[in-house]
Structure formats: structure tokens, C-alpha cells
Copies of this chain bind each other. A is one copy, B any other.
């Protein structure tokens, strides 16, 4: 009968300091990579003492997971708001392009390769986003008698995400070969569907 193991005392997960630490974690991960997201480096970035990290988070793994969960819960709120859009496909495309922090996403995706908690949360978020987007697209297709051509709502949901993410990554890295053509292609296709 697994009982909660003995723990040291801890602070509120929604406190101001806790959020400062999560902000600092995002900055460090974006600029220096997940390997640099240590308790010392994050505390320094937040202007706090290293040991405070362990007052607000059980372990470093917990802190990293909390940082990702804060992002996904905000993103899911946004997705729910946008689901009611009059032109969901256009809205989804613009939303991924403007909100996806590609460098950070690649750090979290790499982290997910070997961090069980983060992987589960990435999968949970990606599954929810894909389903919600596919439903919003399918609803609009029904209501307005649109023609998606060879795209299923799920396939379109996948393509909008994967394309925006890779375009964002390459732009952040200074590589843009074919990008104007791809953006024209998506603008054309989205306008064509309605």
C-alpha cells in the first residue's frame, strides 16, 4: 500500500516565487538548453538562493515537469477559446505560428525522450490538441459544407502543427530555404478551403 514517502516541508505551488522559478527555468532552457536547467543556474537566473528551489519543488525533475505543465495548461485554454472561431483552420495555423516557441519545444521534446513525466505530459497535450483541432475542423466542414480534398481533419490537424513547428525552428536557426513557398502553399490551401 504505497504511502506518500516522508517529505521535507514545501511551499505553495502557485506562489509568486514558484512562478518566478518556472519563468527562470523557461529562460535557461531556451537560451542554454535543458542540461543547463540546474537548481543553481535557475536560482541564479531568478535572483534567488539555490536551496529555495527545493522548498518549492521536490526534485529537479518535478520542476522541469511543472514548467512544461504550466505551458500546456495555458495552451489548452487558448485552444479551447479558439475552437469557437469562425475559421478554425486559419485560426489554428496562425495560432501555432505565433505561439509555438520552437527552441523551447525542441528542448522539451528532447527532454521527453528520457524523462517519463515530461513524455507523458507531451503526449497528453499533443493528443488533446490534435483531437480538439480535428473536431473544430470537422464541425466547420459540416456546418459550411467545406471540401477538405484529400485531408481528413486529423491529418490536417497534424500538418498544421508539424509544418508550423519546423518552419519556426528553422527560422530561429537562420535557415529559410523554401519557407516562402511553404507559407504561400498553406495560405493558398487555407484560403481555398474557406
A141 to chain B, nearest CB (A): 14
**A76 on the B face (CB < 8 A):** no
**A62 on the B face (CB < 8 A):** no
Q: Mark A30-47, 1 if CB is under 8 A from B, else 0.
A: 111111100000000000
Q: Which residue of B lies closest to A38 (CB)?
A: B35
A107 touches B113 (CB 8 A): yes
- A residues 130-146 touching B (CB-CB < 8 Å): 130-131, 134
A166 touches B173 (CB 8 A): no
**A193 on the B face (CB < 8 A):** no
Q: State the copy count for this chain.
A: 2
B165 touches A166 (CB 8 A): yes
B178 touches A155 (CB 8 A): yes
- Interface residue count on the A side (C-beta < 8 Å): 52
Contact of A123 among B123, B173, B185 (CB under 8 A): B173
A134 touches B34 (CB 8 A): no
**A127 on the B face (CB < 8 A):** yes
**A112 on the B face (CB < 8 A):** yes
Give the segment of A7-15, A51-59, A84-92, A156-164 that binds chain B.
A156-164
